[in-house]
A and B are shown apart, each in its own frame.
Chain A
Amino acid sequence: MERTLTQPIAGVLPSREREAPSEGAAQRHTSARTGIRAEEFESLVREHQQRIYRVVLSLTRDPDAADTLTQECFLRAYQKRATFRGEASVGTWLVRIAVNLARDHGRSRKRAFWARLMGGRQRDDAAMADAATLVADPGASPEQAAAAREELGAVWRAADALSPQQRTIFLLRFAQEMSLAEIADAMELEVGTVKAHLFRAVATVRAKLKGKR
């Protein structure tokens, strides 16, 4: 039987919430009101899970961590749904939670130690190898695929040299193609601050790529 976010949770929700009528789809998730009802959560997960997964994947470069942190992101959002003020869109709110989770994940030195010990480098290399096939056009020659792989690896290595905040902004802008305003909302920064960080990040990446070539 399919498990939904509404049904199993219904037992632990106040009846007021269970019986509340659902709003129209157009107003869902983005209306400027306080809180998100439990009934809305399943469709919210369905709508945003792939984007949140990609955001976390870009920031962690680890598909397993992306899966775990995506789940954690929605669980935190579920627990905090009553405090959602509607000042930003639900999507931005979720990205904000995801960015914080990815940052905390990256800060964990213990995890980094075990990841290295358990072959994180090999996993990175494997991901890079996969990237060649994922990035290159289906009709690309082996040389083109290798060039794509090399370019991607170079950008990743350059991004690794950035400060955590610059790196996050750089990856949200270029790997997730988020606008500066969206990034500013998600990171609770001014657009000008995001622009300044992005400029410094691009300058560093440019210097790294130039130094490599």
Chain B
Amino acid sequence: MQATHLSDEQFAAALEGTAHDVAAAHLAQCAACRAELERTRGGVRQLAAWSRGVAAHPAGFWYAQRQSIAGQAAGRREPSRLPVWAAAMAGMVMTALLLLQSPWRDADLQRGVQASVDPDDLLMREIQASLRSPVPRPFEPALLVTLELQRAAEEVEAQP
């Protein structure tokens, strides 16, 4: 029986299969260390065996997995290949275009359009609008006076 057993370092190296001569010589003589190493080695071997065993699926499993990957890949958006600076530049251009189309810009444009309209054309439009109304524009003041008089008469009649 050995007084000192394998150190952790020697044990790890032995488990890795890279034990130095001193450790190998100790293992040859020490049944306790040999048994401990074999137990641990057996345990880690079984880790690998378990992994292989659980992963031993039929071909249909792997086929279905490939199908699923293909289906999901088709549904996922391709990553943008634009560099960041190009994306930023595109954003700035879009912002500028949006500002050009903004309501303030429209109001400015409308004012410009109105300023450029021919005054004769405007007069003709006013005359046409006046002719289309039920009361011609020259008689509008008289109509307003008549309406006021009617309302005053109704108020007088309504009083007790």
List chain A positions with a Cβ less than 8 A from chain B.
Answer: 2-5, 8-9, 11-13, 41-42, 45-46, 49-50, 53-54, 57-58, 63, 66-67, 70-71, 74-75, 78-80, 82, 127, 130-131, 134-135, 148, 151-152, 154-156, 171, 174-177, 198-199, 202-203, 205-206, 209-210, 213
With A130-B54, A202-B8 already in contact, 17 other A-B pairs whose C-beta atoms are closer than 8 Å = A5-B69, A5-B73, A12-B74, A49-B65, A54-B52, A70-B65, A78-B76, A127-B54, A131-B46, A155-B43, A171-B47, A174-B44, A175-B44, A176-B48, A206-B40, A209-B39, A210-B36
Judge whether A57 and B51 touch: CB under 8 Å.
yes
Distance of A208 from chain B, by nearest CB (Å): 10
Most A-side CB within 10 Å, residue of B16, B42, B54, B72:
B54
Shortest distance from the beta carbon of B39 to any chain A beta carbon, whole Å? 7
Question: Given the complex of chains A and B, what is the CA–CA distance between A80 and B79 in angstroms?
Answer: 8
Task: For A155, give its contact among B8, B47, B53, B65 (CB under 8 Å).
Answer: B47
User: How many chain B residues have a CB neighbour from A under 8 Å?
Assistant: 38
Specify which chain B residues have a CB less than 8 angstroms from the CB of A156 in the assembled complex: 47
Q: In whole angstroms, how far apart are the Cα atoms of A175 and B47 in the complex?
A: 5
Chain A contacts for B96, CB-based, 8 A? none
Q: Could you tell me the distance between the alpha carbons of A135 and B52 in the complex, rounded to whole angstroms? A: 9
List the B residue with the shortest CB-CB distance to A80: B79
Of B16, B62, B69, B76, most A-chain CB atoms within 10 Å:
B69
* Partner of B48 from A5, A49, A175 at Cβ < 8 Å: A175
Quick check: B15 and A202 within 8 Å, CB to CB?
yes
The 9 closest A-B pairs by CB, nearest first: A134-B53, A155-B43, A203-B8, A8-B74, A174-B44, A202-B12, A175-B47, A152-B46, A3-B70
Alpha-carbon distance A46/B50, docked complex (angstroms): 22
Q: Interface on B for A, CB 8 Å cutoff? A: 8-9, 11-12, 15-16, 36, 39-40, 42-55, 62, 65-74, 76, 78-79, 81
Q: A174-B48, A202-B15 are in contact. Are A79 and B76 (CB under 8 A)?
A: yes
Closest residue on chain B to residue A2 by CB atoms = B67
Does B54 contact A202, Cβ atoms closer than 8 Å?
Answer: no
User: Are the CB atoms of A54 and B68 closer together than 8 Å?
Assistant: no
Alpha-carbon distance A199/B81, docked complex (angstroms): 43
A71–B68 touching, CB < 8 Å: yes
Q: How far is the CA of A58 from the CA of B47 in the complex (A)?
A: 8
In the assembled complex, how far is the CB of residue B42 from the closest CB belonging to chain A, in whole angstroms?
5
Docked complex Cα distance between A82 and B81 (Å): 9
Q: Are A8 and B71 touching (Cβ within 8 A)?
A: yes
Closest to A203 in B: B8
Residues of A within 8 A of B70 (CB): 3-5, 8-9, 42
**Is the pair A13, B78 in contact by a Cβ cutoff of 8 Å?**
yes
How far is the CB of B148 from the nearest CB of chain A, in Å? Answer: 75
Task: For B42, list chain A residues within 8 Å (CB).
Answer: 148, 151
- Shortest distance in angstroms between B10's beta carbon and chain A's nearest beta carbon? 10
Contact residues in B for A45 (Cβ distance below 8 Å):
66, 69
